[in-house]
Structure 1
Amino acid sequence: MKKLTPVFTISLTIALAFILWGAFAPNNLESITGSIQSFITDQFGWFYLLAATGFLGFAIFLIFSPYGRIKLGKDEDKPDYNYLTWFSFLFTAGMGIGLVFWGVAEPIYHLYDPSPAANVEGGTIGAAGAALRYSFFHWGFHPWAIYSIVGLTLAYFKFRKGAPGVLSATFQPLIGDKINGGIGTTINVIVVFATIFGVATSLGFGTAQIGGGLSNILGFENTFFLQLMIIVVVTFLYMLSSQTGLNKGIRILSKANIYLAMALMLFLLFSGPTNFIMNSFTQTLGNYVQNLVSMSFQLDTFNIESTWVEGWTIFYWAWWIAWAPFVGTFIARVSKGRTIREFVLGVIAVPTIFGALWFSIFGGTAINLETLQGISVMEVMSESGEESALFFVLQQFNFGWLLSIIAIFLIASFFITSADSATFVLGMQTTNGSLNPPNNVKLVWGIVQSSTAAILLYSGGLNALQTASIIAAFPFAIIMIFMIISLVKALRREVLPQRHKFKKEH
């Protein structure tokens, strides 16, 4: 292994300390992280809402501003990947595994426990619209705007300014050469820490759902031992994939994910209540856009007994922010040659529409079963956990057993590509931005990721996963604010030459 960077050494030490803590004192880990999480959500929920909405506002500004013409690279650079490959990278790294996990479960939860702001009675068909609307909201413009800010900033400084592909390098306009000292190291260590816990959250969800699928199909009990075996097997597979590099393993699996996901969506769309699904998609999309501003600033300030916003919206914003260094770095790596406008539109609009369609098909079908056909998905979730909801819904239709097997393969494939992409990103961030990090570095981070997911599941199940992601996200949200300031400062230095050039050409 080449000379280790301070970021690698410090990050690995912290990660190993956390894993040992969870292994030997899981109850203590859950208690302390739970207290930290409660403090953050109680005292700084407003900060997460303002930050996430501010990131979306800045992304929209970039689309319509003259800065949108600037290329993420030299003026003559062309994109390395076509649109299909690029979008498959976005979807796979971004939140594919989460969509599969929550596609049925979240709308059903919102159906019975709607947001207080929706002013609807839970468990009724009237609550269905609000259930889908908030699912669109949590997986729509805000998360992808968060990803786009990090990815755009990294790609701009890496490919246009020739800076190293680490987040600390994006602060050069603000702090100059101090990025090479303790401040830069601290920033990059926070990035690695947030990445480990953000990814571990989704890997934990994926593991639980694969276990739920095997339990549903084969009758296995979804125990921690089964989940541990799943982690071991999938870890071996994604480490095998990570050794092949970006243009082989991740690229091939990313496209396979898209094809599998589309096949599952289309089958359920035409086997399920097609008219109900498409009507729900159309109406909910309009309601989502219409209510976007009010939902973006909603807190439970005047409803003291409610913790709905803290349990859903604030958790999600923290989860996306914790994922942002990982997804942003990965998106930046595959986006050289695109303009700022093309990048932001592609990263925000396409996945948002896809996610809305996904929730309409899977969530809409579940709501139709629940409210109009008297088949209770919620009862199954209460007895077997939300990880069983998808498989229960699929088995209400022809070839349900086969569809469930396809769904397990899809989850496993998303698991592999997410973890594979994360090892790539962690390798970049701990080798001073190498675009092709050494395999032995990726191997180390692959083992750390899987160990963290296993420890979190062991110490507190999915609650511990959620707790860890919210804690990891808080410092990175502050880093993102200063990233925007640094990016604007750099863009202002070149906007006039770009504007003059545009006028001469036209």
Structure 2
Amino acid sequence: MTIEPKTSTRSERTWHGGDDRTAPLREEPELPGRGLDAEPGSGSAQQRAHELRNRPGAVFWGSIGVVVAFIAWSALSPDSMSGSMTAAMNWIAGSVGWTYLLVTLGCILLMVYLAFSRFGRIRLGKDQDRPEYSTWSWLAMILSAVMGIGLISYAVAEPIIHFTQPPHGLSEPGTYQAAVRAMQFSYFDWGPHAWAVFGIFGLAIAYSTHRRGNTGLISPMLRPVLGKAMDGPLGHVVDILAVIATLFGTTASLGLGASQISEGMNRVLGIPNELFVQIVIIIGITTVFTLSALSGVNRGIKYTSQVTSVLSILLALYVLVIGPTGFLGNLFFRSMGQYLNDFFMVSLTTPVSGDDVQWYQSWTYFMMAWWLSWGAFVGVFLAKISRGRTIREFVVGVLGIPSLVFFVWFTIFGGTAIKLDMEGAGSIGRAATQDLNSAFFETLDQLPLTGITSVIAIILVVLFFVSGADANTFVLSMLTSRGALEPSRAILTTWGALTGVSAIFLFLVGGLDALQQAAMISALPFGIVIALLGVSLVKSLRTDQDFDFTRTVTRDEVKTGMLRVPSPILSMDFEDPPTSSIPQQRAPRDQRIESLNSPDQG
């Protein structure tokens, strides 16, 4: 953060010792921002953004211009756009795709460092703030609003495809070792590598808004690295990149959701699984999630997330009990051991041939790019719901618990499908190879109560669809409302409609492939932003004098008087009691306080 030449009010505070001596603290520059609850008339960045939220600025109009130009291109020349996107994607995968791996691994290491470092007990908000939501509600919103659709779309499809076509030839297809490798690479794609990207964004935004009082834009968080450039056109470009990456990352999810709903309705109700039906589904769900976004986080997203969490737990328990329970337990621990053993090797493995490039483009690079493109959206959303939690709580709740939940979920459904194919005719694997959206329902078809479980799965996809797009609409609106933490209803409606329209046009141009390509391309420049964001966050924490109390004090600082007295001590009210009433055992502490604040110590 750039230090403003504003004199801290702390310099006016005094210490009152028993000898009636007053020693003022030395003046220090006040870092900008002290939390969300600024005093009326203080001119905080958040207050200004809120006052101007109905008058969107350069980020809004710039983002709208890019989206409209993209939609016009896809409408007027779909072949040209499809060819250009394919060429760009092939170049990225073959030349610089390794950057996706490097950035996501760096995010994991940084999250672990922050959790175990002295910064782990720093609260995301004022020191007296406490979490707004219960831990259950908080985790439910994280899981369902962030990557809920993936729980249905890929929970069976990815493991069963890796089982029939083991990655990098590491095992023989159809064997138990192939099942272990299938789960290992599913864990890799859906575990800490995804959640660490979200976590770094969430921490940076929560610290910037809740602790520093800045707006919800991305650009203010990069000031420690890029300085005042973030207050001008370059800052607008960064914020626009965040909007575009968020939009395309979400449209990929909407495409998957529409395909899943269409597949489920085809199996349960016999409705044709075709493009027209999928577009109608997108239009209908867009209307629902836009209305949900208008109701706010406390209503729409919170309650939808809780319902989806309960239904998900019930469905998972049913499959675990009815399915091959013993096989799933053994597979989970074997796969977890393989994942941990090969963690760094898999995290840094890159393609060495043309076939390898194609595989990475379909799986690893696409997944990592998808998470990068979701970084801003999920980060802003996590920051919104995480005020009052410590950094250590945040890391455990965002990096640890969701990863473990996804590991268990993928093992239950993917492992069940693998076991059924090992003992059967391999129908699930063939179905997934032809259309990954059919894999989940194909698995349910081979278990009892198919009709009931399929309906529950459709309901889950709809609710995941709504909660994810709901949160996305809120974040897009906040990013284009000068960072206002409560966007106007008009802007919420605008972005809800544009999200649905963008998904429809990409679907018309190239289906799911076009949606995936848009997410990967938009994630590349944004990966640089994420790397800079991690550096900026650490730099901000290290230079923030509010957190001096978390570090080790050196002897030289005590001797020279350069030790900054912790803010909790500053807030204490020291009276002038009679000298005789001071207990003898407290004398050393009082002497230290007077020594640290005496005039000759500066």
Residues 211-239 of structure 1 show CA distances to partners (whole Å, capped at 9, x for unaligned) of 11111222222111000110111111111
More divergent stretch after superposition (24-33 vs 263-272): 24-33
Residues 144-193 of structure 1 show CA distances to partners (whole Å, capped at 9, x for unaligned) of 00100000000011111111111111012233443221011111000000
- Choose which of 407, 410, 413 in structure 1 pairs with 2:463: 413
How do 1:83-482 and structure 2 match up within 5 A?
83-116=135-168, 119-301=170-352, 303-307=353-357, 308-383=359-434, 385-482=435-532
User: What value does the CA root-mean-square deviation take over the aligned residues?
Assistant: 1.7
- Look up the equivalent residue of 2:299 and give its one-letter code: K
Report how far residue 329 of structure 1 moved: 0.6
Report how far residue 61 of structure 1 moved: 1.0
- Look up the equivalent residue of 1:11 and give its one-letter code: S
- Look up the equivalent residue of 2:319 and give its one-letter code: L
TM-score, length basis structure 1: 0.96
Alpha carbons of 1:300 and 1:176: their partners in 2 closer, same or farther (altered >3 Å)? Answer: closer
Residues 15-48 of structure 1 show CA distances to partners (whole Å, capped at 9, x for unaligned) of 1111122123222211111111111111102211
Does the 8 Å CA contact 2:163/2:179 hold for their aligned counterparts? Answer: yes
What CA distance in whole angstroms lies between the structure 1 residues aligned with 2:199 and 2:134?
Answer: 18
More divergent stretch after superposition (123-132 vs 350-359): 123-132
Paired-residue identity, %: 38
* 2:96 is the counterpart of 1:44: yes
Alignment partner of 2:173: what SS? coil
Residues 378-415 of structure 1 show CA distances to partners (whole Å, capped at 9, x for unaligned) of 222345x1111111111211111111011001000000
Does the 8 Å CA contact 1:298/1:309 hold for their aligned counterparts? Answer: no
TM-score, length basis structure 2: 0.81
Residues 348-380 of structure 1 show CA distances to partners (whole Å, capped at 9, x for unaligned) of 000000000111011001101111233520222
Does the 8 Å CA contact 2:266/2:273 hold for their aligned counterparts? Answer: yes
Does the 8 Å CA contact 1:110/1:131 hold for their aligned counterparts? Answer: yes
Larger radius of gyration: 2
What CA distance in whole angstroms lies between the structure 2 residues aligned with 1:397 and 1:377?
Answer: 12
* 2:550 is the counterpart of 1:498: yes
What CA distance in whole angstroms lies between the structure 2 residues aligned with 1:438 and 1:266?
Answer: 41
Does the 8 Å CA contact 1:235/1:450 hold for their aligned counterparts? Answer: yes
Does the 8 Å CA contact 1:106/1:135 hold for their aligned counterparts? Answer: yes
- Look up the equivalent residue of 2:73 and give its one-letter code: W
What CA distance in whole angstroms lies between the structure 1 residues aligned with 2:257 and 2:324?
Answer: 27
What CA distance in whole angstroms lies between the structure 1 residues aligned with 2:318 and 2:136?
Answer: 21
How do 1:45-84 and structure 2 match up within 5 A?
45-84=97-136
Does the 8 Å CA contact 2:476/2:495 hold for their aligned counterparts? Answer: yes
Residues 417-440 of structure 1 show CA distances to partners (whole Å, capped at 9, x for unaligned) of 111100100111011221111111
Report how far residue 455 of structure 1 moved: 1.2
- Look up the equivalent residue of 1:446 and give its one-letter code: G
- Look up the equivalent residue of 2:233 and give its one-letter code: G
What CA distance in whole angstroms lies between the structure 2 residues aligned with 1:438 and 1:2?
Answer: 6
Runs of 4+ deviating beyond 6 Å:
none
Does the 8 Å CA contact 1:216/1:388 hold for their aligned counterparts? Answer: no
Structure 1: unaligned runs, 5 residues or longer: none
- Look up the equivalent residue of 1:181 and give its one-letter code: G
Alpha carbons of 1:141 and 1:382: their partners in 2 closer, same or farther (altered >3 Å)? Answer: closer
What CA distance in whole angstroms lies between the structure 2 residues aligned with 1:309 and 1:122?
Answer: 19
Does the 8 Å CA contact 1:394/1:404 hold for their aligned counterparts? Answer: yes
- Look up the equivalent residue of 2:345 and give its one-letter code: S
- Look up the equivalent residue of 2:235 and give its one-letter code: G
Specify the alignment match of 1:34 in structure 2.
86
What CA distance in whole angstroms lies between the structure 2 residues aligned with 1:498 and 1:401?
Answer: 57
Alignment partner of 2:174: what SS? coil
What CA distance in whole angstroms lies between the structure 2 residues aligned with 1:306 and 1:138?
Answer: 16
- Look up the equivalent residue of 2:223 and give its one-letter code: Q
Does the 8 Å CA contact 2:242/2:376 hold for their aligned counterparts? Answer: yes
What CA distance in whole angstroms lies between the structure 2 residues aligned with 1:408 and 1:80?
Answer: 31
What CA distance in whole angstroms lies between the structure 1 residues aligned with 2:271 and 2:461?
Answer: 18
Does the 8 Å CA contact 2:170/2:181 hold for their aligned counterparts? Answer: no
Higher relative contact order (CA 8 A, sep 6+): 1
Report how far residue 276 of structure 1 moved: 1.2
What CA distance in whole angstroms lies between the structure 2 residues aligned with 1:173 and 1:163?
Answer: 13
More divergent stretch after superposition (212-221 vs 247-256): 212-221
What CA distance in whole angstroms lies between the structure 2 residues aligned with 1:47 and 1:230?
Answer: 35
Report how far residue 261 of structure 1 moved: 0.9
* 2:92 is the counterpart of 1:23: no
Alpha carbons of 1:392 and 1:304: their partners in 2 closer, same or farther (altered >3 Å)? Answer: closer
What CA distance in whole angstroms lies between the structure 2 residues aligned with 1:178 and 1:119?
Answer: 48
Does the 8 Å CA contact 1:254/1:417 hold for their aligned counterparts? Answer: yes
Alignment partner of 1:306: what SS? helix
What CA distance in whole angstroms lies between the structure 1 residues aligned with 2:483 and 2:536?
Answer: 19
- Look up the equivalent residue of 1:400 and give its one-letter code: T
What is the total number of aligned residue pairs between the two structures?
A: 502
Does the 8 Å CA contact 1:68/1:341 hold for their aligned counterparts? Answer: yes
What CA distance in whole angstroms lies between the structure 2 residues aligned with 1:380 and 1:110?
Answer: 13
- Look up the equivalent residue of 2:111 and give its one-letter code: A
- Look up the equivalent residue of 2:540 and give its one-letter code: A
Structure 2: unaligned runs, 5 residues or longer: 1-52, 554-564, 570-602
- Look up the equivalent residue of 1:444 and give its one-letter code: T
